[in-house]
Amino acid sequence: MGMTITEKIFARASGHKTVTPGQLVDARIDLVMCHDVTTPPAISMLKAKGLDRVFDRDRIVVTPDHFQPPKDIKSAELHKRLDEWARRHEITWYYKLGRAGVCHALLPEQGHIRPGELIVGGDSHTCTYGAFGAFSSGIGSTDLAAAVATGKLWFKVPASMKFVLNGTLGPGVYSKDVMLTVIGRIGTDGALYRAMEFVGPVLAQMSMEARMVLPNMAIEAGAKNGIIACDEVTKEYLDGRLKDTRPYTVFESDPDAEYYSVDEFDCSQIEPVVALPHLPSNTVPVREREGEAMDQAYLGSCTNGRIEDYRIAAGIIKGKEVKIRTMIVPATPTVWRQANDEGLWDIFYDAGCVISAPTCGACLGGFMGVLAEGEKCISSTNRNFVGRMGHPKSMVYLANPATVAASAVEGKLTDPRKYL
């Protein structure tokens, strides 16, 4: 019996020749991601248990991002605990001060994500890294503590679901629309405990930045991980970028690998969509809700806060004035710098947008654009649960960056295609 990419990575990491879904394995961790909310408690646990050590200071990447820079005294205390620990253990890849960014944009951009590796992080969107043919999954603080101290964790090998993305994307349609359509079809627990493997000709039309959106939101379907096989696009992105320059392993799913299910999508039929409050699966075409008044537009996050996203948005906003509060929250310092160099900040500034430093910000209701009671926000982020971006009675509408930009210009939900 053949294996999927996910199974092959588990077999390699656990020292087995083959593994099958449902099998419990103790696996070696190749990389651990740490940020300011979930890592400080893990550090405290390790201290309390007398396990205050790190398994390999070169295989841990630390970046404060959730409340970066600290938004209040309590979050400053979290940063202080993270900083003290990272310095004490001489963590090699510690992105601090002006180098910190939204973890899931920062780690791939800085060349820490390698195909074939097993990666965990103290954040649910750690599944993003699967775009590079790696197994990657989000964990809580206790798992994080164990991973950091021992470099090993137990896993139940997940069954894989295959998502075949056929066709070509039309104008104004992006990977975000594809993923919201997938989640809309299978539901927020449609992939519970399982791996989502994305294949199909549409991937060849996507850059790595665009691809990352698919596994990034795998957690929004309940999945353990999302994964895309490493191909030429991947290799080109990684070339000259990887911090660890040793050869990496490219795994491919065997032709006779077994899948829990196979879902086909004709992506040519997908339109710009919006996920209505309060579930990422409440997906409808934007045109069905056009005209619904918004109070804020938000462009940022590990889902759509990369340079391509700002180019798309700037293309629509250029020369116009936004009608609602519009937050531009770039994911990393490099994105900030590049957008600045390309003149995108001028476009957003002239349009009346707010441009912030890199941070997770209001995506999770932290700061930098938190919503008041009853307010509605069109957002390029990943979750629209009750209270996600602020007041429990505020509402979040998830969409691609073009839809967010068009809606900012009109002050209401707007199909971006008329601006293209």
Partner 1 sequence: MTKAHVYKRDHVNTDEIIPARYLNTDDEAELAKHCLEDLDPELVKKLQPGDVIVAGEDFGCGSSREHAVWAIRGARVQAVIAKSFARIFYRNAINCGFYPIESADAIDKIDDGDDVEIDFESGTIHDKTNGEEIPFQPLPDFALEILQDGGLLDHITKKAK
Annotate each residue in 99-138 with x if it binds partner 1 (CB under 8 A) or - if it does not, as one string.
-----------------------xxx-x-----------x
Q: Does 354 bind partner 1 (CB under 8 A)?
A: no
Interface residue with partner 1 among 84, 168, 192, 420 (CB under 8 A) is: 192
Interface residue with partner 1 among 114, 162, 211, 224 (CB under 8 A) is: 224
Subset of residues 10 to 49 that bind partner 1, contact rule: CB under 8 A: 24, 37-38, 40-41, 44-46, 49
Q: Does 63 bind partner 1 (CB under 8 A)?
A: no
134 or 148: CB nearest partner 1: 148
Q: Does 246 bind partner 1 (CB under 8 A)?
A: no
Instruction: Pick the piece of the chain touching partner 1 (CB under 8 A) from 89-97, 202-210, 265-273, 361-369.
Output: 361-369
Interface residue with partner 1 among 60, 91, 274, 364 (CB under 8 A) is: 364
Q: Does 218 bind partner 1 (CB under 8 A)?
A: no
State the nearest-atom distance from the C-beta of 370 to partner 1, in Å: 8
State the nearest-atom distance from the C-beta of 72 to partner 1, in Å: 6
Subset of residues 154 to 183 that bind partner 1, contact rule: CB under 8 A: 154
Q: Is 358 left (phi over 0), alpha (psi -120 to 50) or beta?
A: beta
Give yes or no for a contact between 265 and 283, defined as CB atoms under 8 angstroms apart: no
77 or 288: CB nearest partner 1: 77
State the nearest-atom distance from the C-beta of 304 to partner 1, in Å: 18
Interface residue with partner 1 among 222, 285, 315, 352 (CB under 8 A) is: 222
Q: Does 279 bind partner 1 (CB under 8 A)?
A: yes
Reduce the secondary structure of the chain to three states and give it as a string: CECCHHHHHHHHHHCCCCCCCCCEEEEECCEEEECCCCHHHHHHHHHHCCCCCCCCCCCEEECCCCCCCCCCHHHHHHHHHHHHHHHHCCCCEECCHHHCCCHHHHHHHCCCCCCCCEEEECCHHHHHHHHHCCEEEECCHHHHHHHHHHCEEEEECCCEEEEEEECCCCCCCCHHHHHHHHHHHHCCCCCCCCEEEEECHHHHHCCHHHHCHHHHHHHHHCCCEEEECCCHHHHHHHCCCCCCCCCCCCCCCCCCECCCEEEEEEHHHCCCEEECCCCCCCEEEHHHHCCCECCEEEEEHHHHCCHHHHHHHHHHHCCCCCCCEEEEECCCHHHHHHHHHCCHHHHHHHHCCEECCCCCHHHHCCCCCCECCCCEEEECCCCCCCCCCECCCCEEEECCHHHHHHHHHHCECCCHHHHC
Interface residue with partner 1 among 66, 162, 211, 376 (CB under 8 A) is: 66
343 or 392: CB nearest partner 1: 392
Q: Does 142 bind partner 1 (CB under 8 A)?
A: yes
Q: Does 75 bind partner 1 (CB under 8 A)?
A: yes
Q: Does 383 bind partner 1 (CB under 8 A)?
A: yes
Site residues, partner 1 (CB under 8 A): 24, 37-38, 40-41, 44-46, 49-51, 66-67, 71-72, 74-75, 78, 122-124, 126, 138-143, 145-146, 150, 154, 188-189, 192-193, 219, 222-224, 279, 364-366, 383, 385-388, 392
